């Protein structure tokens, strides 16, 4: 028997095949859709905003039909939603569940907040090294070598 919480996540948002990204901090769902480029695919994407959550207070949920996220794709969410859980659904059942892992490097995910950084002036990809802190992440730009916190990041590569 599934408990009530699982029913709320999986039944109200029932999909036959695909991915449910759960435990997204409230307000990040639309950025996640941008980062994963979900809007540009033919897949049906449903978002739920501001669900009550014991751990987060409020959470968003993103549901993508007929697409299974990989661990690498999920890891791109580390700066926005380190708490996210990825649920792979096959034939209406939970087939696989995994967590976002913080990758050592982030390539082509965020723009450098330093306006003088060469990546903001040349047509080139960004590259950041991540460092886990007690709370959140620090990000160091490979090119200008400046170190940023998650809150400094305003723009995402889409």
Cα 27 from Cα 20, distance rounded (Å): 16
Please report whether residue 144 would count as binding Zn ion according to CB under 5 A.
Answer: yes
Cα 142 from Cα 122, distance rounded (Å): 14
- Confirm if 47 and 32 have CB atoms less than 8 A apart: no
User: In the set 117, 137, 139, 153, which binds Zn ion (CB under 5 A)?
Assistant: 117
User: In the set 83, 114, 140, 150, which binds Zn ion (CB under 5 A)?
Assistant: 114
Q: Edge-to-edge strand order for the sheet containing 93-99?
A: 45-53, 57-65, 18-25, 85-90, 93-99
Please report whether residue 49 would count as binding Zn ion according to CB under 5 A.
Answer: no
3-state secondary structure of 5: helix
User: In the set 109, 141, 148, 153, which binds Zn ion (CB under 5 A)?
Assistant: 141
Nearer residue to Zn ion within complex by CB, 19 or 119: 119
Q: Least separation, in Å, of the C-beta of 144 and Zn ion?
A: 3
Nearer residue to Zn ion within complex by CB, 8 or 142: 142
Dihedral (CA of 150, 71, 39, 22) sign: negative
Residues 73-112, interacting with Zn ion (CB under 5 A): 112
Please report whether residue 153 would count as binding Zn ion according to CB under 5 A.
Answer: no
Binding site for Zn ion (CB under 5 A): 112, 114, 117, 141, 143-144
């Amino acid at each position: 028997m599934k408990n009530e919480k699982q029913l709320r996540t999986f039944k109200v948002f029932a999909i036959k095949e695909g991915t449910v990204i759960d435990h997204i901090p409230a307000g990040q769902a639309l950025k996640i859709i941008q980062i994963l480029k979900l809007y540009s695919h033919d897949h049906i994407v449903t978002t739920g905003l501001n669900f009550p959550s014991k751990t987060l207070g409020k959470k968003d949920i993103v549901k993508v039909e007929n697409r299974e996220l990989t661990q690498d794709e999920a890891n791109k969410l580390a700066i926005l939603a380190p708490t996210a859980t990825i649920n792979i659904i096959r034939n209406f059942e939970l087939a696989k569940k995994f967590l976002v892992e913080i990758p050592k490097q982030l390539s082509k995910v965020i723009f450098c907040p330093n306006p003088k950084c060469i990546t903001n002036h040349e047509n080139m990809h960004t590259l950041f090294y991540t460092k886990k802190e007690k709370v959140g992440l620090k990000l160091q730009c490979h090119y200008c070598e400046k170190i940023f916190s998650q809150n400094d990041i305003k723009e995402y590569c889409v």
